[in-house]
Amino acid sequence: MLPTPVSMDTTEFRKRGKEMVDYIADYFEQLDKRQVYPDVEPGYLRPLIPDSAPQEPESFEDVLKDVERIIMPGVTHWHSPYFFAYFPTASSFPALLADILSGGIGCIGFSWAASPACTELETVMLDWLGKMINLPEEFLAGKDGEGGGVIQGSASEATLVTLLAARTKTIRCVQSENPELTEADIMSKLVAYASDQAHSSVERAGLIGGVKIKNIPSDDKFTVRGSALKKVLHEDRAAGLIPFFFCATLGTTPCCSFDRLLELGPICNKENIWMHIDAAYAGSAFICPEFRHLLNGVEFADSFNFNPHKWLLVNFDCSAMWVKKRSDLTNAFKLDPLYLQHCHQESGLVTDYRHWQIPLGRRFRSLKMWFVFRMYGVKGLQEYIRKVTFFYFMGKFVLEMGREEGLNKNPHLCAFCICTPACINKACCTAQFMQGPAFHPMSYHGSYDHWGHSH
Ligand SMILES: Cc1ncc(COP(=O)(O)O)c(C=O)c1O
């Protein structure tokens, strides 16, 4: 039984739980009436709450009252129909309900034994999702595959984890051929690559991983071509560096460009470079057969990642990552203290996801996928993706018309980012004017919007 505050036993929890669901349902029903971007000033909250935690228990009513009084005035409403900043973040009622269940079960599934259902559902859900986007069989766990999927918290973590795994693999490989080299010698020569349009999380992975990251110049379509990668590899090898990792982007943050996997993949394979694909935002679209061709070339990759929490109706956090060889992760990250061991771990029948990620603990996040996939069905999810892309194209049309009319002279519209996810934002630019600033700046090859205007 859970330890309960004076004011909440299971009877009270049933009552308050229903009230909370009502509160959230009301929130969604009334969301369009809330101001999307709060007009509070920095430091607004501290004067509204006591300096320290209360000594005596307070009632649920009092806490909920303060949610409206203190919290809501400072919330940026990401799910408001007037929110067009950053990127869309997914939300659906099935995922919300699954999250309640996940919190209720409250297990920490770091190993199979720590909660078998938590591990096994995740493996199966990643196979379901992999099949939805038609990933090559090698990325699926199946019953005895060498690959498989895992839920990371974010695309940034996926890039970091794969970069670190690639780093370890390369160091061991170089050391086996050159035993005189120390790990530090090799580390100082390692170099990873990504497009000059790649998300900053790739550079950050290099910072955390202690390796150089170089930008590969993209072409006039903001795409990395095989020839550009080849040129840099040639120069770096000649300078004695050791190329080991390339992060391709499908759906770049500034403008949703797609690197040329079919050119880049064979080069990486030939040069023994780990190719990771970051499709954080755009990846959800691959569930529609008409967009799947954009993923062609994934067969050359070692790892692939996208965020169902961005566009596939699974609430944050849920970043799906697949590897062709699970041993690349376990070889890099496996540590086995006695207190985490269990009797099935060497059976070959189970996955211990703690070896696939940075933290030890992990939530039961696959419940969200299971609820969403079952309650929408693949067809429902495809329909949802198509609806969003339809709005994008409609919005693009409206914007082009606006441009003809000179609307782009409006500073709000000009400063308004036209990034990957913001392609959708862009579609709704008129609403932007009505609701105040909810935008972020973006640049491509030094220009600040997609017509090449600098501001
Ligand atoms: C292409 C790309 N990669 C990575 C990220 C970072 O995502 P996350 O917040 O999951 O780390 C984003 C975020 O918007 C993105 O668009």
Q: Which of 84, 284, 277 lies closest to 198, judged by CA? A: 277
More confident residue, 158 or 6: 158
pLDDT band of 392, cuts 50, 70, 90: low
Task: State yes or no: pLDDT of 410 exceeds 80.
Answer: no
Overall average pLDDT of the 20-47 stretch: 96
Residue 428 has pLDDT above 50, yes or no: no
Distances (CA, A) of 181 to 127, 164, 185, 186, 307: 40, 19, 6, 7, 39
How many whole angstroms from 199 Cα to the centroid of ligand 1? 6
Residue 407: count of CB within 10 angstroms of its CB: 17
Look at residue 398 in the predicted model and tell me its pLDDT.
55
Index of the ligand 1 atom closest to the CA of residue 158: 11
The more confident residue out of 84 and 95 is 95
pLDDT at 376 over 70: yes
Q: Is the pLDDT of residue 430 over 60?
A: no
Phi, psi angles (nearest 5°) of residue 377? 75, 160
What CA–CA distance (Å, rounded) separates 296 from 301? 10
Nearest by Cα to 258 from 280, 290, 287, 231: 280
**Residue from 245, 151, 254 nearest 196 by CA:** 254
What percent of the chain is modeled with pLDDT above 90?
76
Q: Which residue among 218, 253, 277, 321 has the greatest number of ligand 1 atoms within 8 angstroms of its CB, and so is best to mutate?
A: 253
**Looking at residues 154-164, what average pLDDT do you find?**
98
Quick: pLDDT tens for 286-342: 999 999 999 999 999 999 999 999 999 999 999 999 999 999 999 999 988 999 999
Of residues 404 and 191, which shows the higher confidence score?
191
How close is the Cα of 440 to the center of ligand 1, in Å?
15
Mean pLDDT for the chain? 88
**Cis peptide before 317, with omega less than 30 degrees from 0?**
yes
The answer for residues whose C-beta is within 8 angstroms of residue 284's C-beta and 6 or more apart is: 306, 307, 308, 310, 311, 312, 385
Q: Report which ligand 1 atom has the smallest distance to the Cα of 317.
A: 10
Are 141 and 127 in contact by the 8 Å Cβ rule? The answer is: yes
Average pLDDT over residues 28-39: 94
pLDDT of residue 417: 33
Q: Name the pLDDT band for 245 (thresholds 50, 70, 90).
A: very high
Residue type at 71 in one-letter notation: I
Q: What is the distance in A from the centroid of ligand 1 to the CA of 144?
A: 31
Sequence-distant (6+) residues with CB within 8 A of 169 are 244, 274, 328, 331, 332
The rounded Å distance from CA 130 to ligand 1 centre is 19
196: alpha, beta or left? (left if phi > 0; alpha if psi -120 to 50)? alpha
Closest residue to atom 16 of ligand 1, CA basis: 253
Cβ density class 141-160: b for 16+ within 10 Å, e for less? beeebebbbbbbbbbbbbbb
Distance from Cα 256 to the centre of ligand 1, integer Å: 12
Q: Which of 307, 417, 440 to mutate to test the pocket of ligand 1 (most atoms within 8 A of CB)?
A: 307
- 35-51 mean pLDDT: 96
How far apart are the C-alpha atoms of 432 and 439, rounded to whole Å? 8
Q: What distance in Å separates the CA atoms of residue 364 and residue 213, rounded to the nearest whole number?
A: 34
Residue 249 scores a pLDDT above 80: yes
Cβ(90)–Cβ(309) below 8 Å: yes
Query: What residues are in contact with ligand 1 under a 6 Å CB criterion?
Result: 87, 154-156, 199, 201, 249, 251-253, 278, 280-281, 307, 319, 420
Is the pLDDT at 438 greater than 90? The verdict is no
Ligand 1 atom closest to the CA of 198, numbered from 1: 1
**What are the structure tokens assigned to 101, written together?**
């269940």
d(CA 276, CA 455): 34
Mutational pocket test of ligand 1: of 281, 319, 419, the residue with most ligand atoms within 8 Å of the beta carbon: 281
The residue that leads in pLDDT, 33 or 414, is 33
pLDDT surpassing 80 at residue 436:
no
Q: Which numbered atom of ligand 1 lies nearest the CA of 420?
A: 16
- Residue 445 reports pLDDT greater than 70: yes
Atom 12 in ligand 1: residue holding the nearest Cα: 280
Q: Picking from 168-177, 207-216, 344-353, which range would have the lowest pLDDT averaged per residue?
A: 344-353
Which pTM was predicted? 0.88
HSE-CB for 371 with a 13 A CA cutoff? 20
Residue 353 and residue 110 in contact, taking contact as beta carbons nearer than 8 Å: yes
**Overall size of the chain counted in residues:** 455
**Position 2 pLDDT exceeds 90:** no
User: For residue 293, what are its two tokens?
Assistant: 């061709």
Residue 281 CA to ligand 1 centre (angstroms): 7
What percentage of residues in the chain have a pLDDT greater than 70? 84
